[in-house]
Structure 1
């Protein structure tokens, strides 16, 4: 209990640190009148979007609360599920909302700081990203620690062994609300941001030939709003869900592995250590004036590496003290996950940064037009899946065996789960390097729209270009952790079903042979569902972007003097179109994610669901990496050309690169990042509805 209190205290300290950092950011100069006006327009649009989204999501959560409450009456789910669903969803949404508020208050201040120095702009944008990162991990840790303490009091009449089993069983359901909210936030925000971005680029850059972020473009404010609601609010909710998911799955598997309360405490203490490490490492991110891209990247890497070393050292003493030297292999499982996250981040950077040959070769392919640019980007994305899959496979193998899986299967599964915790332990600083990107991007847009000195735009472009690389790295990190967490959830699902079967109410025994028709059909459906989900999200962006294209064309045609810069466009109409379109598309997508495991479970039983989860994890992991890396490479190939090579802006090569970037936008910012939520949400739904599946699908 004292250890859990320590975890709770660390989470509160993390929130206090984030609040103090935000206070320092708000004290910075928020720019001249024009910068403030543009920044306020972005802020207003982002607030309007989130208000509309949360209203729709509130109705969904209300309906699901009633359904869960009804199921709890008949003991198909725990009585705590309806309430943890609401609380988890609220905190996931709160993570995204805080992230959005921080970002919209920091973008104008970053522009103002860039008027003075590059380091000043980096300091504000990164510090803002750090606030977002620390808030996400601290809220997740606070939620689980408080939930554990509450459940411990609720079940205090039980002996410790039985009490820990009940706590672990209930704590596993904490993530379903966070997963559901993350799906809405990531997909809805992704549709909004890419519809605006694609629409603005197709008419502005391709058809009319005006620069990016030109104030004459009616979709430019919607594009900047999208950076906040998709890449910040959506990402915050998404990674909150990943973080909570890895912790609750490892806590549940600790009990199955026979490690009792100490095994539950280890992942929570490692996560708490990660919060402290992330806070300390933020003070090491600095750079010199006129720094190159490599210097800037080195500054951000420094923070991640210091945090990782801190966790690597501290985790050894946590495992040795709580679990003893006989279980020291679990420490090496944590190291395996930690190292895997760093390696996946590095290779994601290799395939997406214009500092390396893959993106430079892709840029070279623009010489022969858009078609070869698209082919090259798809090929790059496909080949980039090999190394992350190998890394995760090796990590799973090492984690399982090093933790003692060869002697105790459940201990090996705990090792896999805690390796995901190790990977996500430095999420505070990793998310900071990711979230800083959209803030720098907005700062560059504000600099362009407010006609700042070219030197200001040069500085914000340097930060923005770096942000594209770190954002791609962050997505690779999130997808890699999702794969490990999903594997842990599959193990937790199997364990949950077997525990219910042991209770004697339902008779069932798993047959997970690939020759079992139920498993085989589940595998096929799981493999297919990621393609169906991808199609729906891509199609949603396409339809919404088409509406933006029509609206932007209309305004250039009907508003006199708009092209000459003598009239102001109607920015609000594009924001409204993106908002309505993104919310309208969400319903079908959410139904696919939530209903599929229930329907498959009722038709094929628990064996079929296990196949479904395995199939969706395998295909989803690879497709998510391919899309994220293809999109990131297309984007940076375009920026590489804009730096002056291959004819620079306005050249035929640049036009071909813009087409590639336009295709890649929904790849990297909508569909790719959303798939990792899909595979975890389906696992979580399977666990929560396990009793229902066992009762009616096992006939």
Structure 2
């Protein structure tokens, strides 16, 4: 049957010849070179001036809070990691070596994801004060010579972007190093072991993304609502007790969380490409998917250094776009050379593939090159589309700014409509990319799915620059916060930081758009890996007394339609839980900041300092407490669906989640980014400027958008991949107990029931926490006293 591959249909060819091993060792060297370059960039960033003593003290407080939060978060996540390590040992595999390797590299993937996030946060909290100090040079003290404003702006931007370059190099370096080591060590068994590596990276990234997102947006929303709206003080005024927590949150959420997120996108896309590559391209399929991102590592180096602002640039975004497109163009040229140098001109010349692939007509070089090009072009189009909907100079954001003249309701409505509309265009672009890759496969579904995976690796060639763009945003935001809290940067220097922050809002929205595109391509490719795992499991099962209804992917079957609906529903539930968690924690922050203003009048006249640590503690405890429910939902929902409704319903579940998740993630990210920049637009003097009713309206829009763009939206990206990887890991067990002589309801139903009960219990406990209603608490068990105990703990 075309497109149906089994172990029996694969040719018994040696894996990783001497030439292939040499290529992978070269790729390992490239990965290590990326880490070495990261070290060079670290020294360059840390060599910059740190500014005044006041700025250094504020930066130290942010550093202390960020380090404390991540340390506690990693201790919490360590429990999940150890439990998952032993559970993976229980899942079926062909050999004990595969089981052990899968569990070990699960931990490796989790550690690499954590290291990427930690390094991103660690450098960002040291870079932000240096960016603020660089901007301060625009307004020198009395007696100092004046500085050229353009040069000052360019220097500050360079520090911020090079900081992001470090995180980008760690992302591509560790991702490529981990996947290459798996292939070198396990060779033919690499696909099974890679499942563990990808799962570890995705699971930890999801926890870091959700936890960091709850922390940062609880502090941000609470600070804005009390400080800017109620008290009428600036955003990062030191009199606001939530300001330190807000700056800490930018680092643990946007730096650590997003860095881990993009690392797992990189790792999981490679995992999917290598699994399908072995099936379709044979031995070459374990090498070629590594060559493409290795080229991307080299071009990312060029792209990072290409982001050098010029006097002719319209804004900082112009320089960033230039670096991105230079990287993309060089990547495409490099991949073209690699394709024709490494791959044969006929499928029959590929070693170690099934007969249905070797008999396929066409040129594998053309398929590979066009597929990779689709991914690179998709990244460029998503970058431009997202920029259009979120840049302050474009019409959509300016239109939202105009609606501020009629109040917060119209600001919220216009932002929601923008997000909904932009999600459609992004989904169409992603769908066209997937469909284009599908057409390349001809009659073979596995070749089509491998083409989708290659498109994902093509998108990965730009990841180094994309990560740098993402980290640039929170570093610029924090620099502005430190400048305002210290009072040492004003005038033109303050405007430099405001402009960089606006560019950073756009770059963050762009990276979220590209991240979800990567997630869809990776999830689609993993869907193919799921099919391959299912086919292999079916070929091993004895067909006697079987019921094929559990295997069919026919959407007309009611059980499969139910699976589709459940997959879409989980995305909505996951998003709702994340946003509600921010609402609860932000409520506690609001009441704590109000309490301090009320009980300590010296705060407002500057005679005493707020208790910043109490707000940091609220955000830390609430963020860690809220981690469990979304995590359990992501891991256990596929188990409940698969064991209760069958493998066909599980496949439909994944399809529903991918479809709903794509639209939801883009909607949340773009609407939030547009609201944030509309606020910046008004703060720059449009429609009445700071302190006006229009400003208050855009602040409300921004606070609504904060959990959209920085908590729920980006967390959907790892959610999709975690669920796909869980489905991939359990597929053999689902087939075994629902098909053939081993079919056993006595096993399936208890497993499904246990998973469902745990989900229901977690959601119930989460909802029982309630939302603080007033300082005393209107309801006994849902009072602010709950949050008060958290603060005092």
Which residue in 2 is equivalent to 1:156? none
Instruction: Find the partner of 1:478 among 506, 512, 515.
Output: 515
1:683 corresponds to which of 720, 724, 729: 724
Q: Determine whether 1:5 maps to 2:19.
A: no
> 1:160 matched to which residue of 2?
none
Kindly indicate whether residue 445 of structure 2 is the aligned counterpart of residue 423 of structure 1.
no
Partner Cα separation in structure 2 for residue 668 and residue 473 of structure 1 = 11
- State the distance in 2 between where 1:62 and 1:41 align: 32
Tell me, yes or no, if structure 1 residue 79 matches structure 2 residue 100: yes
1:30 aligns with 2:50: yes
Shift in Å at residue 330 of structure 1?
1.6
Q: 2:527, 2:90 → 1: CA distance?
A: 26
- 2:373 — aligned with what? 335
* 1:19 aligned residue: 39
Partner Cα distance (1:267, 1:641) in 2: 47
Match of 2:505 in 1: 468
The residue that corresponds to 1:671 in the other structure is 712
Q: CA deviation at 1:674?
A: 0.4
Can you give the 5+ residue segments of structure 2 that lack an aligned partner in the other structure? 1-20, 138-151, 346-362, 744-793
| Counterpart-to-counterpart distance in 2, 1:500 and 1:72 | 10
Aligned with residue 615 of structure 1, among 633, 645, 656? 656
C-alpha distance in structure 2 between counterparts of 1:332 and 1:657, whole Å: 44
The yes-or-no answer on 1:59 pairing with 2:59 is no
Q: Which residue of 2 aligns with 1:173?
A: 196
Q: How does 1:585-664 map to 2 (within 5 A)?
A: 585-664=626-705
Secondary structure of the 2:602 match is coil
Quote the residue 1:279 is aligned against.
Answer: 301
Q: Please state how far the C-alpha of 1:81 moved relative to its aligned partner.
A: 2.2
> By how many angstroms is 1:694 displaced?
1.9
> Post-superposition shift, 1:619?
0.3
Q: Report 1:228-307 matches (<5 A).
A: 228-257=251-280, 259-288=281-310, 294-307=314-327
Identify the match of residue 138 of structure 1 among 173, 179, 194: 173
Corresponding position: 1:394 with 2:432: yes
Instruction: Confirm or deny: 8 A CA contact 1:447 1:456 kept in the other structure.
Output: no
Asked if the contact 1:107/1:443 (under 8 Å) is kept, the reply is: yes
C-alpha deviation, 1:356, in angstroms: 1.0
CA 1:73–1:494: 2 relative to 1, 3 Å:
closer
Aligned to 1:442: 478
Task: Name 1:120's counterpart in structure 2.
Answer: 155
* Helix, strand or coil at the partner of 2:646: helix
TM, length-normalised to structure 1: 0.95
Length, aligned pairs only: 682
Query: How many angstroms apart in 2 are the aligned matches of 1:491 and 1:679?
Result: 14
Within 1, Cα distance between the matches of 2:255 and 2:483? Answer: 20
- Pick the structure with greater CA Rg: 2
Deviation of 1:632 after TM superposition, in Å, equals 0.5
- Cα offset for 1:323? 1.9
Query: Is contact 1:604-1:697 (8 Å) kept?
Result: no
Match of 1:92 in 2: 113
RMSD: 1.6
Corresponding position of 2:215: 192
Deviations, residues 579-608 of structure 1 (Å, cap 9, x unaligned): 000000111111000000011111011111
Q: 1-side partners of 2:330 and 2:91: how far apart? A: 45
2:568, 2:660 within 8 Å by CA — same for their partners in 1? yes
| 1:509-658 alignment runs, 5 A limit | 510-658=551-699
Q: TM-score, normalised by structure 2?
A: 0.84
CA deviation string 1:341-373 (max 9, x = no partner): 110111111111121111111111111111111
TM-aligned CA deviation for residue 173 of structure 1: 3.1
Instruction: Note the C-alpha offset of 1:71.
Output: 3.8
* Equivalent in 521, 525, 528 of residue 491 of structure 1: 528
Q: Does 1:129 align with 2:149?
A: no
Give 1:508 deviation, angstroms: 8.0
Q: Give unmatched runs, 5+ long, in structure 1.
A: 153-163
CA distance in structure 1 between the partners assigned to 2:511 and 2:538 by the alignment: 40
> C-alpha separation between the residues in 1 aligned to 2:323 and 2:547?
50
**2:278 touches 2:284 (CA, 8 Å); kept in 1?**
no
Inter-CA distance 75–321: structure 2 relative to 1 (3 Å threshold): closer
1:40 is matched with: 60
How far did 1:7 drift? Answer: 1.0
* Counterparts of 2:206 and 2:641, CA distance in 1: 20
Report the CA distance between 1:298 and its aligned residue.
0.8
1:333–1:400 Cα contact (<8 Å) kept: no
Q: CA deviation at 1:526?
A: 0.4
The question of whether the paired residues in 1 share the 8 Å contact of 2:91 and 2:729 is answered with no
The superposition leaves residues 379-425 of structure 1 with CA deviations (integer Å, 9 ceiling, x where unpaired) of 110011121111111111211223xx113221111101110111121
1:337 Cα shift?
Answer: 0.8
